[in-house]
Structure 1
Amino acid sequence: MAVGFGSVLRRGALAGVLAGLAAAVAIWLLVEPVIRRALVIEDTRSLHGGQSAGLPLHGGDEPLVSRSAQVVGGAVTSVVVGAAVGVVFAVVFARVRGRLPGRGDFGRSIVLAAVGFGAVTLLPALKIPANPPAVGDPETVGRRTTL
């Protein structure tokens, strides 16, 4: 039984929203503690009034956006971007599903998702490593981001 475009689009949007919620929870549980530790390092350096390990200070100005607003904004953004990616995935899938290898729509969607993951997530992550704020040496930024 063939599934219509509207149904594929709704399923893609729902899957994207659920993925966005999962990403927001993962960020809260896995990434946020690392960011908070990095901010403590930055604050500790600022309190001691000097440069630590030859790294520059970022100034004692109050942040323009509070950390809690950043966290909430990040969660909302994860859900919205997840929905958008789900819709884009659904549109691409509806267009190319007849040409994808695999048994049934589920198998074909797995193939498309694997290709998308490789192109959009894996390759950029391998090229550009993560670096928390106030931890990296600014003089090595060129070396860290050069292919």
Structure 2
Amino acid sequence: MEEILQQLLQGMEEIKKTLQQHTEILQQHTETLQQHTEILQQHTEILQQHTEILQQHTETLNQHSKQLDYLQQRQIRIENRLDNELLPKINVLFDAFELRGDEIAQLRKHLDERLDVITLDINYLLGKTARQETALMELRKAR
């Protein structure tokens, strides 16, 4: 019976050692788990910061989008005004400029023709005056 008791005692000591080893392993795992929990908390904080930054960027993008929409509406208004008001006026001015140019060309042609006629008349008058002066000089000589 002593042997059995010794064997039981040895078995209990082995169980005790195994339990102590398992307790140590559990403590190590608990410490590792606590470290991992701290790392996860840090990562969670970093993710929250990034989420806040992303929200700020989203707000900024929304503001820029609104500004872009406003600018596009203004551009459309300007284009419509240009098409409906300014281009017709520019076309009218261009047509008037062309018409005025044509009128100036016609007037120039007319004035050139008149100048040619006046030049012919002056040449005729100069020739006639020269002949009359010659005739007068001959008459004076003949007297």
TM-score by length of 1: 0.26
- Say which structure, 1 or 2, has more relative contact order (CA 8 Å, 6+ apart): 1
Q: Which has the higher helix share?
A: 2
TM-score by length of 2: 0.26
